[in-house]
Amino acid sequence: MSESKIVVPAIPEALKGKTFAASDIKWVKTVNDKFTKSAYLPPDKRVITNQNGVFFCLQLNPRFTASLRGVPIGDLILLYQNLDKQKVRCFTHLVTPIDVDIIQDPYPDPNGVKSWPGRWVMLIAMTGNQAANSIPFLQTIWPEMGFTGQMQDLSFQTSHVRKIPHCDRLPDLRNDIWSRFQPHMEKK
């Protein structure tokens, strides 16, 4: 991966100094990495830290770029993945898009292998790369929420970014997730 070609876009004015809250959690997406078994977690070289924060290009299958394009700047995406050799499903990141563009090959490979497209996001919170340092799905109130269909167990997500459906307990879910991410919030 040639890091010299990777350029993180400027943070939009609307995000500078923004105070995020639980109510900003509106989307959910699964991530995975066939090589490291933990996506966008240290020591993942795609995670870029600079004077403005921590960023990465959230990649997805090219067939589903419209789902990522639909997330407004400032909305939070809750990322989850399987950790500890793929045995424990955990929430690992809260991120927000910082640019509207879909980048077709965000991480150019010196051998010419094309990467999946993605969109630049800014890290709001990130857990560790083991289940013990992350937020296991089963320890949250997500399983109790009573979502129907595809949102019930999150297993449907192959690469889409999904809007969390409205329900009476949605504020409870957001507050539960938000409180669990507090120790992992990115310091500005």
Q: How is the chain split into domains, by residue range?
A: 3-184
CATH of domain 3-184: 3.10.590
Euclidean distance between CA atoms 41 and 44, whole angstroms: 6
| pLDDT surpassing 50 at residue 2 | no
pLDDT tens digits, 29-69: 988 876 666 889 888 889 999 999 999 999 998 988 999 99
Alpha helix positions (H), 57-169: 65-69
For residue 38, what pLDDT is reported? 80
Q: Of the spans 12-16, 20-24, 63-67, which averages the highest pLDDT?
A: 20-24
For residue 1, what pLDDT is reported? 44
- Strand-strand pairing, 25-30 and 76-83: parallel
For residue 34, what pLDDT is reported? 65
Sequence-distant (6+) residues with CB within 8 A of 169 are: 141, 144, 145, 146
